[in-house]
């Protein structure tokens, strides 16, 4: 199963983004997507270890993220995970109670889902959108420009 974050840095960006070099914008998008990929991976690992008893380790080991630059996109974050991760996210779990054997009687209508996919993905998506709109300041752009100049030497 794949999940994608496509980023095209064109409309609805502040005015000072229009005057910057496209390589600086592309590198900024790449850095932000890599940060979000690491954040998603860390958050999901923490959540899976907290809520699920796993036996084979496929849910933890078969998750990958890859950041690429497209021809017309400034960046793309592709997230690969096992298909059943989405079903575990939908599956309901009982709330923690004193008597675990009697949880069906105590928690009717009060079941919660496992927060291992949607909550993490959408939370990071909102953070990414905010960072892309307002995170590319002049000083960040100058740091990226220095970094790119040092790589070209």
3-state secondary structure of 2: strand
Q: How many domains does the chain have?
A: 1
Residue 149: CB atoms within 10 A of its CB come to 9
Is position 7 within any domain? yes
Which pLDDT tens digit goes with each residue over 42-81?
999 998 888 887 778 888 888 888 888 766 667 888 888 8
Is position 56 within any domain? yes
Among candidate residues 32, 3, 41, the one with its CA nearest the CA of residue 135: 32
Write out the residue range of the structural domain in which residue 132 sits: 2-94+111-145
Is position 105 within any domain? no
Is position 150 within any domain? no
- Whole-number Cα distances in Å, 30 to 18, 88, 91, 128: 18, 30, 34, 11
Mean pLDDT of 124-130: 88
Is position 117 within any domain? yes
Whole-model pTM: value is: 0.74
Is position 141 within any domain? yes
- Whole-number Cα distances in Å, 123 to 67, 78, 115: 19, 17, 11
Is position 18 within any domain? yes
């Amino acid at each position: 199963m794949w999940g994608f974050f496509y980023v095209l840095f064109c409309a609805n960006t502040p005015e000072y983004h229009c005057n910057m070099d496209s390589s600086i914008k592309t590198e900024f998008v790449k850095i932000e997507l890599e940060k979000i990929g690491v954040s998603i991976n860390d958050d999901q690992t923490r959540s899976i270890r907290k809520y699920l008893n796993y036996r084979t380790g496929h849910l933890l080991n078969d998750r990958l993220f890859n950041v690429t630059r497209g021809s017309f996109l400034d960046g793309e974050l592709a997230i690969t995970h096992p298909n059943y991760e989405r079903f575990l996210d939908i599956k309901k779990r009982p709330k923690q109670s004193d008597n675990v054997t009697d949880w069906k009687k105590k928690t009717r209508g009060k079941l919660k889902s496992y927060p291992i996919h949607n909550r993490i993905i959408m939370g990071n998506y909102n953070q990414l959108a905010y960072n892309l709109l307002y995170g590319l300041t002049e000083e960040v752009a100058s740091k990226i420009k220095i970094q790119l100049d040092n790589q070209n030497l």
